[in-house]
Amino acid sequence: MAAASHQNIGLNGYVGFDTITQQIQRKFLKRGFNFNIMLVGQTGLGKSTMVNTIFSAHLIDSKGRKSATETPRQTVEITPVSHLVEENNVKMRLTIIDTPGYGDQVNNDRCWEPIIKYITDQHQAYLQRETSPTRERFIPDTRVHCCLFFISPSGHSLKPLDIEVLRHLTQVANVVPVIAKADSLTPEERNAFKRRIKDELNYHKINVYPYHSEEDDESDRSLLHSIKDLTPFSVVGSEATFTVNGQTVRGRRHRWGIINVEDETHCDFVYLRNFLTRTHLSDLLETTAHIHYETYRASAMRQPLPGAEVGDHQPLVNGSN
């Protein structure tokens, strides 16, 4: 059946369907939403501090080693921490998924596998609920919406491990690369490091978030271009506050002065925060659902159930990975 064509018709009086946006907003405010963010990077890069700085609250404690003599973790440990946060009557169920132990072993061969498995396990759990005969109206969403990938501020290039892990991660999640502790580099070093990382990502065909879309209008394309220029974000995180010229700022103290993390001339923190929360939060949720989850779903639905004959109707996903 061909899709019906639609003609523009003028109304002779007020109907009221323009209130749909208000109706949606009321339901959204009442229900709230889930945002699940994963942190990937080696110990000591300030992952916990960064996410606490982004959300302006102490949400997660550092899982890093307390001293150089402490034995490194032998495996990657996935540790989700959830909070309900509210801002101007908007409720967000925020889950932070830390990955302590990543990249800390002498042999880091395939150290990304527990991370990839966690991400795909969440897709599988969502699909099983979605295809259940008694499907819930609102399915709990534990899918990873954003993965912050922390790059060591070496000033040289991406490590071979970083490149290998990024290849795998970008296939299953929205990956946002950040240069951690960027105050350890001069502005010139930061800019040169950014250029090298961009070149390496392009060379290895690693597609980090955000993505181009055919639905983008001119303003969307302009915003995307500015974000791509900033990526990878060079960031500094801090929960400490200082008084500078009579104003209280969050920052880090150095011998030569205070790094104000919210000063755009000092680092890209403000751009990263605005990107994650003010301009692309909705798109992160949609991209997870419509690209990464749908890719997983299409693949999973093609897998036959145990004991099924080829050609049998397969209503449910195979429960094994």
Q: What is the pLDDT of residues 129-179, one digit of tens each?
A: 999 988 888 899 999 999 999 999 998 899 999 999 999 999 999 999 999
Give the pLDDT confidence score for residue 311 in this predicted structure.
Answer: 42
Q: Confidence class of residue 315 from pLDDT cuts 50, 70 and 90? A: very low
Torsion on CA atoms 28, 32, 34, 39, rounded to nearest 10: 120
Structure tokens at 106: 């002498």
Q: What are phi and psi of 257, to 5 degrees?
A: 150, -165
More confident residue, 87 or 304: 87
DSSP letters of 255-321?
TTEEEETT-TTT-SHHHHHHIIIIISHHHHHHHIIIIIIHHHHHHHHTSPPTTPPTT----S--S--
Cβ neighbours, 10 Å, residue 55: 21
d(CA 131, CA 149): 32
The pLDDT of residue 216: 87
Q: What is the pLDDT of residue 75?
A: 60
Tell me the pTM: 0.86
Alpha carbons 161 and 112: distance in angstroms, whole number:
9
CA 107 to chain CA centroid, nearest Å:
27
How far, CA to CA in Å, does 224 sit from each of 51, 217, 235, 287?
Answer: 23, 10, 19, 15
pLDDT digits (tens, 9 = 90+) for 70-128: 555 556 789 899 999 999 989 999 999 999 888 776 567 888 999 999 999 999 999 99
Peptide bond into 232 cis (omega under 30): yes
Chain centre to alpha carbon of residue 294: 17
Give the pLDDT band (50/70/90) at residue 316. very low
Distance (Å, rounded) from C-alpha 123 to C-alpha 288?
A: 10
% the chain with pLDDT above 90: 63
Q: How confident is the model at residue 26 (pLDDT cuts 50, 70, 90)?
A: confident
Amino acid 1: pLDDT? 57
Burial bucket for residue 256 (CB in 10 Å: 0-12, 13-18, 19+): exposed
Q: Which residue has the higher pLDDT, 36 or 259?
A: 36
- The partner residues of 38 in beta bridges, in order of sequence, read 97, 147
Superfamily of domain 32-61+71-238+264-301: P-loop containing nucleotide triphosphate hydrolases (3.40.50.300)
H-run or E-run covering 189: helix 187-203
- The pLDDT of 232-253, averaged and rounded, is 89
Average pLDDT value for residue range 213-225: 90
In this predicted structure, the answer to whether residue 312 has a pLDDT above a threshold of 50 is no
Q: What is the Cα–Cα distance from 108 to 75, expressed in whole angstroms? A: 9
- CB of 119 within 8 A of CB of 168? no
More confident residue, 313 or 157: 157
CA 159 to chain centre: 21
